[in-house]
Structure 1
Amino acid sequence: MDPQAPRKARLGATIKAVFWSFFGIRKKSDYESDAANLNPLHLVIAGVLGAALFIGILVTIVHFVVAK
């Protein structure tokens, strides 16, 4: 693959890769496919958004548990 060629990134594939990475469950073939096809910038953005969503869900759950 040409290092200068733009990578073909699909939103669904990027979200799927980030989702499974949060669980730490990835096949080697899927990882290699992601490394070849996904844009690293899109992965970072999706990872940060995923982490913010995860933290928001945790804060909401804690808020409801400790609310009187």
Structure 2
Amino acid sequence: MKLLQAVRAVLWSFVGIRKSSGQQEDFGKLNPFQVIAVAVVVVVLFVAGLIALVNWVAK
């Protein structure tokens, strides 16, 4: 369940809209290493998606 909370926290941070109360709650509950790992995976997926989109549009 904590992994799902970490994914949700990272995605909210990625979008940039989050209440400060929810952010403080995440800081108290989540493991920083887990959040960093999830963030790296999300960024890699985002970049791979952008590369795929550019390759598709350029063809």
The answer, yes or no, to whether TM exceeds 0.5 is: yes
Matching residue's letter, 2:47:
I
Which structure 1 residue ranges, 4+ long, deviate > 2 Å from structure 2? none
More helix by share: 2
Tell me the number of residue pairs that the alignment of Structure 1 and Structure 2 aligns.
59
Greater radius of gyration (CA): 1
Q: Structure 2: which 5+ residue stretches go unaligned? A: none
Paired with 2:14 and 2:6, the residues of 1 have a C-alpha distance of 13
Q: Structure 1: which 5+ residue stretches go unaligned? A: 1-8
TM-score relative to the length of structure 2: 0.95
Question: How much is the aligned-residue C-alpha RMSD, in angstroms?
Answer: 1.0
Identity score, percent: 36
